[in-house]
């Protein structure tokens, strides 16, 4: 049997297509062109000697051998991602650098004070902040791009520790003139059958903001997908649909054409820091700074949680 030349890019491409069941979605997730991804899969199949996908004009599904291979590939992918993450953490620790991701629209009121206080405590350290849009609700944690992330749970990432910072009310974002726009507040029953604007990446985070846990046999009617707060609000303002968002969005992103109404029977959402057990000693300092800042700057509409303390 010929020696196989399987590279990790082949495994990553195989896992992405298997998860997304679409070459288009997988190529977007991997940030590569669709032809390049297709070629990578062809190379992978040529290397192993059998097809892993059945392709039609509409569907992509795993073959029987592909199904057997996927479990091993997922395990290998997790191990390699963990190995890369450990290398990154060691590199950042050696160079006294901390990589922090934050989800767009999250902790907007805290970020400037966090940066100032962290620099005061650790003037010798370098803080790298990166904003992530709704295509990555983990704020870089899933890919290992960051040491810790300011997020809104839930996120679909394994082995993540969560430190809850605060909670805030969920609100319905409606176009001006909507049938509910004159109400002081709404309940979920009022909005579940409305057309919805949703995040572009499927998973627990998107499900949460579509209130899927409260729907039972009433699936969400998603009519538009938005990757940023601005595009979400623009879609609502132009009456494409409504959305569910956090109370701080109403405070910091208010604009003509939209109104925000508290959803009185939906549990409060949370803002948290996510991190993996890490060798980068700066993570502990950063979490402490963020906890202190969030406790010292109460925001209208928010209530402080009692989450896990810093590691």
User: Tens digit of pLDDT per residue, the chain (311 long)?
Assistant: 445 678 888 898 999 999 988 898 989 888 888 889 999 999 998 888 899 999 887 788 999 998 999 989 998 888 888 887 777 767 666 668 899 999 999 988 888 999 999 999 999 899 999 999 999 999 999 998 999 999 999 998 988 999 999 999 999 999 999 999 999 999 999 999 999 999 999 999 999 999 999 998 899 999 999 999 999 999 999 999 999 999 999 999 989 999 999 999 999 999 999 998 766 788 989 999 999 888 876 544 444 343 343 44
Query: Do 258 and 174 reside in the same domain of the chain?
Result: yes
139: left (phi over 0), alpha (psi -120 to 50) or beta: left
Domain count, the chain: 3
| Cis bond before residue 154 (omega within 30° of 0) | yes
Q: Domain containing 17 — which CATH number?
A: 1.10.10.10
- Does 253 lie in the same domain as 132? no
Distances in Å between the Cα of 56 and the Cα atoms of 21, 23, 200 are 11, 11, 23
Nearest alpha carbon to residue 168 among 262, 289, 260, 275: 262
Say yes or no: 123 and 68 in one domain: no
Looking at 83, 114, 140, the residue that finishes a domain is: 83
Say if 3 falls within a structural domain: no
Query: Does one domain contain both 228 and 99?
Result: no
Answering whether pTM is above 0.75, one says no
Indicate whether 162 and 224 sit together in one domain.
no
Comparing CA positions, the residue from 256, 307, 311 lying closest to residue 284 is: 311
- Helix 23-30 and helix 34-48, axial crossing angle in degrees, nearest 10: 100
- CA torsion sign for 239, 247, 200, 28 is positive
Residue 90 lies in a domain: no
Q: At what angle do helices 8-20 and 23-30 cross, to 10 degrees?
A: 130
**Quick one: 278 and 130 in the same domain?**
yes
Instruction: Judge if 71 and 180 occupy the same domain.
Output: no
Give the C-alpha separation, 241 to 258, whole Å. Answer: 11
Instruction: Count Cβ neighbours within 10 Å for each residue of 243-264 and write b for 16 or more, e otherwise.
Output: bbbbbbbbbebeeeebbbbbbe
CATH number for 194: 3.40.190.10
- In this structure, are 99 and 56 located in the same domain? no
Question: What residues make up the domain containing 37?
Answer: 8-83
- Cα Rg for the chain, rounded, in angstroms? 22
User: Residue 240 and residue 308: Cα distance in Å, rounded?
Assistant: 39
């Amino acid at each position: 049997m010929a020696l196989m030349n399987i590279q990790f890019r082949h495994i990553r491409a195989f896992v992405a297509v298997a998860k997304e069941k679409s070459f288009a979605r997988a190529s977007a997730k991997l940030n590569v062109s669709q032809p390049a991804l297709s070629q990578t899969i062809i190379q992978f199949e040529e290397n192993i000697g059998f097809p892993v996908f059945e392709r039609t004009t509409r569907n992509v599904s795993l073959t029987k051998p592909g199904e057997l291979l996927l479990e091993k590939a997922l395990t290998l992918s997790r191990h390699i991602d963990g190995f890369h993450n450990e290398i990154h953490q060691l590199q950042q620790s050696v160079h006294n650098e901390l990589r922090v991701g934050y989800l767009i629209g999250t902790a907007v009121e805290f970020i400037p004070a966090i940066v100032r206080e962290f620099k005061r405590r650790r003037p010798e350290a370098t803080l790298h902040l990166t904003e992530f849009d709704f295509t990555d609700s983990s704020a870089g944690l899933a890919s290992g791009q960051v040491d810790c992330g300011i997020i809104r749970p839930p996120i679909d990432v394994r082995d993540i520790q969560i430190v809850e910072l605060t909670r805030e009310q969920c609100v319905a974002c409606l176009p001006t003139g909507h049938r509910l726009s004159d109400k002081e507040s709404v309940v979920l029953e009022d909005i579940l059958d409305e057309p919805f604007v949703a995040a572009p990446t499927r998973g627990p985070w998107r499900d949460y903001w579509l209130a899927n846990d409260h729907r039972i046999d009433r699936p969400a009617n998603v009519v538009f997908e938005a990757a940023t707060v601005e595009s979400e609000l623009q879609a609502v303002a132009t009456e494409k649909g409504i959305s569910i968002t956090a109370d701080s969005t109403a405070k910091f992103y208010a604009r003509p054409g939209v109104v925000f109404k508290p959803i009185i029977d939906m549990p409060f959402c949370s803002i948290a820091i996510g991190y993996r057990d890490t060798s980068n000693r700066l993570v502990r300092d950063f979490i402490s700074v963020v906890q202190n800042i969030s406790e010292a700057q109460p925001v209208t509409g928010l209530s402080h949680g009692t989450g896990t303390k810093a590691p």
